[in-house]
Amino acid sequence: MAAGDSPRGDKVFSTLALVAGCLILAVLFGVAAFLIVQAMPAFLADPADMPGGEGFFAYIWPIVIGTVIAAAIALVIATPIAIGVALFITHFAPRRIAAGLGYVVDLLAAIPSVIYGAWGAAFLAKEISPAYAWMTQNLGWIPIFEGPASATGKTILTAGIVLSVMVLPIITSLSREIFLQTPKLHEEAALALGATRWEMIRMAVFPFARPGVISAVMLGLGRALGETMAVALVLSSGALTVSLLQSGNQTIAAEIALNFPEASGLKVSILIAAGLVLFLITLAVNMVARWIISRHKEFSGAN
């Protein structure tokens, strides 16, 4: 290659990278514009024409709450398990076991969401119903566990458990790769100074991997917020409930999937407006995640 070809290649590559970045922004802007234009009739409609006759925000509030609750349950369950599995694979398990366990984790990510939904609706909901009855009887003084528990087991808690299984391989795989990137010199230095295995992980691995783990958790949260078929199969439609053990609390994605095929007229605009709300929630979550990651990087750099 001639010496003069390198600057030309760099210019072509930088131009292609710029075009790709602008294309992503254009697609994002186009999606946002489409949602806003198509959702406007729902925002301007007479409340009497809305479901329940109470206006758009009275309609959207319960499914927003259901979406947030289901995603929060999934992260609360999946995050500590995923980090523990990733640490076991990278720092504790023998090489053969680590390779096999990593393969199983990756295989979980390849299972279609409808399979998880069918498992949750046909098996998990039925098997977990006795546990819900026990929670109602013994923990009913806590508002989120007050009864009566759903006899079908198809509750927001069941949906959250199914979502936790779905986001577990995402968080585990990314955390595993991040833990493996920890500088070996840092780990060896901590061990050489007399630190135990856990102290080495706490002092060397976690500080290095914290921004990446937060990114992995946020990706899992995005999957939980936008999951459709699994939640639609597990949840039974119903009014907003405080308890996690009663039927109700649909999510935005499942609401759109269940009603869009038969929708027409204003109902289409209402569902697209619900999609716009989900778009804004996801955008806000990602912005907060980027802010948290940047703060951690600044803190690490200052130290």
Taking a C-beta distance cutoff of 8 angstroms, is the pair 247, 10 a contact? no
What DSSP letter does each residue of 238-268 carry, written as one string?
----S-TTSS----HHHHHHHHGGG--THHH
Taking a C-beta distance cutoff of 8 angstroms, is the pair 154, 234 a contact? yes
What pLDDT, on a 0 to 100 scale, did the predictor assign at position 231?
Answer: 85
Task: Identify the three-state secondary structure at position 149.
Answer: coil
Which of 18-32, 94-108, 198-212, 228-242 shows the lowest per-residue confidence on average (mean pLDDT)?
A: 228-242
Which of 42-46, 62-66, 76-80, 168-172 shows the lowest per-residue confidence on average (mean pLDDT)?
A: 42-46
Distance CA 178, CA 83 (A): 11
* Angle of CA points 225, 227, 231, to nearest 5°: 110
Which of 27-36, 60-69, 160-169 shows the lowest per-residue confidence on average (mean pLDDT)?
A: 60-69
pLDDT value at 71 more than 80: yes
- Which residue in 196, 205, 4, 7 sits closest to 89, CA to CA? 205
Task: Give me the mean pLDDT over the 213-228 stretch.
Answer: 86
pLDDT value at 222 more than 90: no
Task: Give me the mean pLDDT over the 14-23 stretch.
Answer: 91
pTM for this one?
A: 0.84
pLDDT value at 2 more than 70: no
pLDDT value at 238 more than 80: no
Alpha helices in the chain (DSSP H): 5-44, 56-87, 95-110, 113-119, 125-139, 156-180, 184-192, 197-200, 206-226, 229-234, 252-259, 266-302
